[in-house]
Amino acid sequence: MTKNYPAAKAGIFGIGLAAYWDQFPGLKERLEGYQQHVEDRIGRWARVVSVGLVDTAPRAQAAGAYFAQEAVDLIFCYAATYATSSQVLPVVQEVKVPVVVLNLQPVAALDYENTDTGEWLANCSACCVPEISNAFDRSGIPFNVVSGMLFEEEGAWKDIREWCEAAKAVVALRGSRFGFLGHTYPGMLDMYSDFTMHHAQFGLHVEILEMDDLKERVDNVTEGAVAAKVEEARSVFEIDESVDEGELEWAAQVAVGLDALASDFDLNALAYYYRGSGGSVYERLGAGLILGNSLLTARGIPASGEGDLKNAVAMKIMDALGAGGSFTEFYAMDFEENFLLMGHDGPGHVAISDRKPVLRGLGLYHGKAGYGVSVEFSVRTGPVTIFAVTQTRDGHLKLLAAEGESIPGPTLKIGNTNSRIRFSLPPAEFMNAWCEQGPTHHCALGVGHHAGTLRKVARLLELEFVEVASRKGG
């Protein structure tokens, strides 16, 4: 059910000095071979757009124009050997996208007694990196440097892969259409959000939707479509005996209406909440959203309850990283087994469940109007990351993350998602550290450790990033 996101388009250029080629025969061809290795590796994680080896300032101008024409999302500058910064800066100035300088040395150490000038030049990638960094800094161009070994399997290549994945997540955000259905849960001041800042800082679009938009589509659902959705629910979920057949059919009808809403408005994510009152049709609609929004979330249209737009963004980023990103908050601290219980009522990312998720019938939604079916599961055990988007007092969006582990053990059977998450800090110390960052009370819980990649997402978006509880052990 999970969505495949398109890879980012990575512009790659190597650098060298044209004056070297006649002086040291074979050097250029050797460096081009190294660059091919770089392109092949990056090609595993991104769509490569290469301009080859740039060795003069005029060629830099042409390379920049080509990257601009191809609309690359990220540029890798491979420092194959020494080159002047004047043949690097024009490439990046033309395109105006983030740049990562690759300082990748072919050998672990030079054979100092037997290395001539030509051999040194084939290994002196570090020589021009400070010069390039200075030129970028003085030109106001954000940049990053990755240093390491060219042929090492991990090391620098882990960083490079994270840059490609981070760029993919940013591409998934830019131009995405986030539906905002209903309103934010009344009184939750942390979740009130500035739509303009989401447009400006994430490059996404917020489409404000009325409950009437949903009602119109739910009203037009056919019996056949309801029956098909019920069968889908039975294939995805274990249906608990507490589920009333009529409530299941209503949830299925609303789910079909949500599918149509997402299709008609071309939605890539959704933040939603509507209280309704007095048993009205809108109260019934609001109470019937959990099944459909869980299914939307699982297929790459994350749905964040209580009208939390910021958390919808966090869920979307995590989904683009292949981590899932389930709608989550803090439930309780366990001081005996040293973990935090985390989960939420409402939609969960069933693709990262530890088992077949349960659809449970609830006669009462705590803190919310109505009744109906709800989703219950735990995130599968192993490494996890929580990720949050919050907004600071000056209106800037800020990203928070923490890596931990989902551990086995009993959880609550209350029709909610809930998981036992252990961090490197003890529960109370972790809560203090997390809350010091002024977070929204929701976060996206995903499988795997992704703080390094999320830090790069923030860098690409030029947003503040904080990793909480980053020390190991505990």
**Amino acid 20: pLDDT:** 96
Q: Please write down the HEC assignment for all residues of the chain.
A: CCCCCCCCEEEEEEECCCHHHHHCCCHHHHHHHHHHHHHHHHCCCCEEEEEEEECCHHHHHHHHHHHHHHCCCEEEEEECCCCCHHHCHHHHHHHCCCEEEEEEECCCCCCCCCCCHHHHHCCCHHHHHHHHHHHHHHCCCCEEEEEEECCCCCCHHHHHHHHHHHHHHHHHHCCCEEEEEECCCCCCHHHCCCHHHHHHHHCCEEEEECHHHHHHHHHCCCHHHHHHHHHHHHHHCEECCCCCHHHHHHHHHHHHHHHHHHHHCCCCEEEEECCCCCCCHHHHHHHCCHHHHHHHHHCCCCEEHHHCHHHHHHHHHHHHCCCEEEEEEEEEEECCCCEEEEEECCCCCHHHECCCCEEEEECCCCCCCCCEEEEECCECCEEEEEEEEEECCCCCEEEEEEEEEEECCCCCCCCCEEEEEEECCCHHHHHHHHHCCCCCCEEEEEECCCHHHHHHHHHHHCCEEEECCCCCCC
**Amino acid 193: pLDDT:** 87
**Amino acid 131: pLDDT:** 97
**Amino acid 471: pLDDT:** 47
* Torsion sign (Cα): 349, 354, 359, 361: negative
What global pTM score does this model have? 0.93
* Spatial separation of the C-alpha atoms in residues 123 and 106, rounded to whole Å: 6
Residue ranges in the chain modelled with pLDDT below 50: 471-474
**Amino acid 368: pLDDT:** 63
* φ, ψ at 465 (rounded to 5°): -135, 135
Q: How far is CA 21 from CA 12, 71, 84, 118, 460, in A?
A: 21, 31, 15, 10, 35
**Amino acid 433: pLDDT:** 97
* Spatial separation of the C-alpha atoms in residues 257 and 266, rounded to whole Å: 14
**Amino acid 364: pLDDT:** 60
**What's the distance, CA 460 to chain centroid?**
12
Q: Domains, the chain, ranges and CATH? A: 9-173 (3.40.50.10940), 177-467 (3.20.14)
**Amino acid 344: pLDDT:** 87
Apex CA 209: angle with CA 204 and CA 212, to 5°? 165
pLDDT tens-digit map of 197-247 = 999 999 999 999 999 999 999 999 999 999 999 999 999 999 989 888 999
**Amino acid 473: pLDDT:** 36
